[in-house]
Structure 1
Amino acid sequence: MVGGLLAVLLGPVPQLPVHLLAAIPGVLLAAIDLGCLRLPDKLVGTLALGAGTPLALLAPGRIGPALAAGTLVGAGYLAIAMLPGRGLGLGDVKLGAALAFLLGFAGWPAVAVGLGTAHLLNGAVATWLLVRRRARPIPFGPALLAGALAGLTAV
């Protein structure tokens, strides 16, 4: 389903095969995070390197912005993760940095849309759980991945 959505929304662009392959670990990461609130480092690394390397070859001029986006988001999320209250786990920090790096190849608007969408999605879920008086930890990985999909297709 994700692959078909990517193909329809992106069209025949040179990056499409890379994004289709990246969807595989992305879907696995979302399922694992929903099931056990964990984001395995090996899958996050596979996503980052497996998509980042070909994207760097396809758009070598975009490596700087991609690295800047990954670094900024990683540092910001790490700062949030270090705050009391355990708002973000380190898996979320790594996945957020990896996705920002990948979105950076599409440009800063893609990074902004991707991260903004992720926070809006999780905010809506948190609000719904609070209204229903069923507060519990919410996995952020699926929202990050859905946001990345929105960021890729919005620009």
Structure 2
Amino acid sequence: MSVGLLTAAALCGGLVGAAAPTFARRFTTDRSATARWTVGWAVVGAVVFAGLAAALGPDPALPAYLLVAAFGVVLAVVDLACLRLPDPLVGAAALGGVAGLGVATLAAGTPGRLAVALAGAALSFSGYVLLALLPGARLGFGDVKLAAALGLPLGWLGWPTLGYGLLLPHLLNGVLALALLAARRVRRDTALPFGPALLAGAWLAVLLA
């Protein structure tokens, strides 16, 4: 693993994370919420980008993952602030993933991987639609769209990675909900953002690939 690549990725991620609250303000009226923890988001961005660089190395697909992650950090800020996953941001993440993986396909000459990635996006979308329609489900269609956008890069890495990416968000969200209930920070009927769990689960799935 190149130390230079890791360092460059971490620096880029730190800049993205530091800028994320500023971009997030365009999608929420609670500007005070997005203004908090700028340094914390810079650390999150650095860790996320460095993790992807460590997992993928100098792979032609790495820029696509970093692009999706950049939009993902902004989405996490917005969702934590106001329980929204704006369509323009989700759409930009999806288009960035498609474009980046399309370039990687041309560079590596692996059209089969792109086909699996597209199938992964479709499977993620279908699965989350079914979950959102279940009685008592607290998933919004923003979550469904984000799951589809993340299913593309997860599918690129293969079916096991996609499986981890579909399962881990629910485990992470469940653990967080139990911890908050135990600390009496939330009630059973409190709405919690699911977007950050989707993004964190996808990131962990890539690291496990």
- Same fold? TM cut 0.5: yes
| Deviation by residue 1:103-130 (Cα, 9 ceiling, x = unmatched) | 1111111111122211110010111223
Q: Is residue 161 of structure 2 the alignment partner of residue 115 of structure 1?
A: no
Task: State the 1:64 CA deviation.
Answer: 2.4
**Where does 1:95-134 land on structure 2 (aligned, <5 Å)?**
95-133=146-184, 134=186
2:84 & 2:163 partners in 1: Cα distance?
A: 25
Among residues 13, 31, 51, which one is paired with 2:77 in the alignment?
31
2:202 & 2:151 partners in 1: Cα distance?
A: 8
User: Secondary structure, in 3 states, of the residue corresponding to 1:13?
Assistant: coil
User: Secondary structure, in 3 states, of the residue corresponding to 2:150?
Assistant: helix
Q: Which has the higher contact order (CA 8 A, sep 6+)?
A: 1
Q: Which amino acid counterpart does residue 101 of structure 1 have in structure 2? A: L
Among residues 31, 41, 55, which one is paired with 2:101 in the alignment?
55
Among residues 115, 120, 140, which one is paired with 2:194 in the alignment?
140
Percentage of matched positions with identical amino acids: 52
Give the alignment's TM-score, normalised by structure 1. Answer: 0.91
| Deviation by residue 1:27-74 (Cα, 9 ceiling, x = unmatched) | 000111111100011111110111122213323212322222222221
- More moved, 91-100 vs 50-59: 50-59
Task: State the 1:10 CA deviation.
Answer: 2.4
Q: Which amino acid counterpart does residue 55 of structure 1 have in structure 2? A: L
Q: CA RMSD in A?
A: 1.5
Asked if the contact 2:97–2:152 (Cα under 8 Å) also holds between the matched residues in 1, the reply is no
1:8 & 1:67 partners in 2: Cα distance?
A: 24
Q: How many residues align structurally?
A: 155
Q: Any unmatched runs of 5+ in structure 1?
A: none
Q: Any unmatched runs of 5+ in structure 2?
A: 1-45, 106-110
Asked if the contact 1:56–1:62 (Cα under 8 Å) also holds between the matched residues in 2, the reply is no
Q: Is residue 92 of structure 2 the alignment partner of residue 46 of structure 1?
A: yes
Give the alignment's TM-score, normalised by structure 2. Answer: 0.69
Task: State the 1:79 CA deviation.
Answer: 1.7
Q: Is residue 122 of structure 2 the alignment partner of residue 71 of structure 1?
A: yes
Q: Quick check: which has more Rg, 1 or 2?
A: 2
